[in-house]
A = this chain, B = another copy of it.
């Protein structure tokens, strides 16, 4: 019984009819995963075997802890780019230190994500708006593409900023390795053709839609096999200097904690912020893929379980000599459409990858780097997302601007700087929107108890009374704006005797807002203006009542705006009566 509780619910409730879908999906994903894991490890500056290692245990770990039924976890393009961009300045790509740091990065990311999941910080995914994510991913895709030109063409291009690389290109072009470039560009054209035309072609000749779609996903594996065979057969690595993967050690790596000597401990603090950024981006990417797939089947994603799932996958990756992983977009979509019903599909992939690592690593010896570069380029150009930009531009210029700024931030400043810029932009937009609460001056619809905006409707107001409806919760980001608005109204209407705040939409009132209202009430009182509230929600009133402001205002809090209007009218009548008595 205890055991069953520890197991994920998909496993304890597993139904036999699901098995066919899970098996098919697991196998199809494996065929995509083999070339991608080798390619993305190369993109991250790591030996290709590391990509394979990162494709076994993490899939098991996610199956145990994650919440998505369709997410395919493993090495992905953006996290690989971020790994390279973090590590390249502090270690030599390919060196043992570089690998140790990549493992440490995965461990740190995993621990950060897992703890965040335990602390229920899933809401942190909302730190990034969709336009910012879109700009970030498109920018990363451009960076990756330019970075791969070197391997694709067999050219000694300088790494560094995208401008450095591109400006060196024309000069270096004559030095290109013709055999490498031919192999790479052929693969590129083939892969591009397969993605663009193979599916429709197969459908036209009568192949069922699903199978036609899946067949196109096998193209990268085909390119890998064909190019490896050609290089091996003609010995192009020796005769034409084509750069190849070389020896890939066979066998699964032993489970081990990354060794932490003193210098590694000081590394920890150096890698902490980059690890947090990789975690954030990886998590946001995963959750959005998982959520949009779940939606198609009416399933749900729990962001906090998702944090623990991706966290566990990264810890598992570090323990087995891998590097940061997350849920990838393309493979998850394929997994889903190939019929994956549960994370068992991921376990099928993991087992198949383990078999490849145990027995077939020799096959990758002659795999040319240029074909891996072609695989990467075709995969990431699919991530460049113009539609979101066009939609955002039509719908909301502020969103389109933050998309463009993030895109150019990534390209011109770098990956980490770009994502930080994106976070800051998202939050600045959030603060800016929150700091512009909608506040309407309202009046009574004649003959009713309804109150509407005076600027949009024919309504009646009472002399000396200004009624304001606040259409948002009040907190530090906007309370001062309300205060300024009220001061402005009082200055414009010197005969004001009463300010009525209609708090029907105020769900929260934080202590900054409480402080500002307290100050405002005193300031108004000293000028003989009475502050009044109406339609306060229950929970807000419960907290307000025992405060000094609540004490002072207890006779000026009305249940409905109508009552407040009536009370004001009565008082005015009384005053008028007193005045006329005095006159009489």
Interface residues of A (CB under 8 A from B): 123-131, 291-292, 295-296, 298, 300-301, 303, 388, 391-392, 394-396, 399, 426-438, 456, 471-473, 475-478, 480, 483-484, 487-488, 490-491, 505, 507-508, 510-512, 514-515, 519-520, 523, 526-527, 538, 543, 546-547
CB atoms of B523 and A298 under 8 A apart:
yes
Contact of A511 among B399, B426, B471 (CB under 8 A): B399
Closest B residue to A520 using CB positions = B295
CB atoms of A491 and B300 under 8 A apart:
yes
What is the CB-to-nearest-CB distance from A416 to chain B, in angstroms, rounded to a whole number?
A: 15
Contact of A431 among B126, B301, B538 (CB under 8 A): B126
CB atoms of A476 and B507 under 8 A apart:
no
CB atoms of B392 and A511 under 8 A apart:
yes
CB atoms of A476 and B298 under 8 A apart:
no
In angstroms, Cα B54 to Cα A295, docked, is: 61
CB atoms of B431 and A476 under 8 A apart:
no
Given the complex, which residues of B lie within 8 Å of A432, measured CB to CB?
Answer: 123
CB atoms of B127 and A490 under 8 A apart:
no
Contacts A298-B487, A427-B427, A519-B292; is A126 near B395 (CB within 8 Å)? no
Given the complex, which residues of B lie within 8 Å of A507, measured CB to CB?
Answer: 437-438, 471-472
Contact of A126 among B300, B388, B435, B505 (CB under 8 A): B435
Given the complex, which residues of B lie within 8 Å of A491, measured CB to CB?
Answer: 298, 300
Using A433-B475, A505-B505 as known contacts, list a sample of 5 further A-B pairs with CB atoms less than 8 Å apart, ordered by residue number in A. Answer: A131-B511, A295-B523, A298-B523, A391-B547, A395-B511
CB atoms of B514 and A476 under 8 A apart:
no
What is the CB-to-nearest-CB distance from A78 to chain B, in angstroms, rounded to a whole number?
A: 19
Given the complex, which residues of B lie within 8 Å of A391, measured CB to CB?
Answer: 511, 515, 547
What is the CB-to-nearest-CB distance from A103 to chain B, in angstroms, rounded to a whole number?
A: 28
Given the complex, which residues of B lie within 8 Å of A435, measured CB to CB?
Answer: 123, 126
In angstroms, Cα B543 to Cα A392, docked, is: 11
CB atoms of B430 and A431 under 8 A apart:
yes
What is the CB-to-nearest-CB distance from A536 to chain B, in angstroms, rounded to a whole number?
A: 13
Q: Count copies of this chain in the complex.
A: 2
What is the CB-to-nearest-CB distance from A270 to chain B, in angstroms, rounded to a whole number?
A: 16
Given the complex, which residues of B lie within 8 Å of A526, measured CB to CB?
Answer: 296
In angstroms, Cα B127 to Cα A546, docked, is: 28
What is the CB-to-nearest-CB distance from A13 to chain B, in angstroms, rounded to a whole number?
A: 16
7 closest cross-chain pairs (CB), A and B: A129-B476, A130-B512, A438-B507, A123-B435, A399-B511, A295-B523, A126-B477
Contact of A430 among B298, B437, B471, B477 (CB under 8 A): B477
In angstroms, Cα B555 to Cα A381, docked, is: 38
In angstroms, Cα B126 to Cα A433, docked, is: 11
**Which of A298, A434, A473, A511: most chain B CB closer than 10 A?**
A511
In angstroms, Cα B397 to Cα A543, docked, is: 12
CB atoms of A395 and B543 under 8 A apart:
yes
What is the CB-to-nearest-CB distance from A79 to chain B, in angstroms, rounded to a whole number?
A: 22
CB atoms of A473 and B510 under 8 A apart:
no
What is the CB-to-nearest-CB distance from A568 to chain B, in angstroms, rounded to a whole number?
A: 21
In angstroms, Cα B428 to Cα A507, docked, is: 18
CB atoms of A511 and B396 under 8 A apart:
yes
CB atoms of B433 and A430 under 8 A apart:
no
CB atoms of A296 and B523 under 8 A apart:
yes
CB atoms of B129 and A512 under 8 A apart:
yes
CB atoms of B395 and A129 under 8 A apart:
no
**Which of A127, A388, A520, A527: most chain B CB closer than 10 A?**
A127
In angstroms, Cα B295 to Cα A519, docked, is: 8
Contact of A300 among B291, B484, B514, B519 (CB under 8 A): B484
In angstroms, Cα B545 to Cα A394, docked, is: 12
Given the complex, which residues of B lie within 8 Å of A538, measured CB to CB?
Answer: 456
* 9 A–B contacts, CB within 8 A, in A order: A126-B434, A126-B435, A131-B512, A295-B520, A300-B488, A391-B511, A391-B515, A396-B510, A505-B505
Given the complex, which residues of B lie within 8 Å of A480, measured CB to CB?
Answer: 125-126, 291, 303
In angstroms, Cα B515 to Cα A473, docked, is: 24
Closest B residue to A438 using CB positions = B507
Contacts A298-B523, A427-B427, A520-B295; is A510 near B129 (CB within 8 Å)? yes
Contacts A291-B480, A491-B298, A507-B472; is A431 near B127 (CB within 8 Å)? yes
Closest B residue to A427 using CB positions = B427
Closest B residue to A544 using CB positions = B395
CB atoms of A546 and B394 under 8 A apart:
yes
CB atoms of B128 and A476 under 8 A apart:
yes
Given the complex, which residues of B lie within 8 Å of A523, measured CB to CB?
Answer: 295-296, 298
Closest B residue to A291 using CB positions = B480
CB atoms of B473 and A123 under 8 A apart:
no
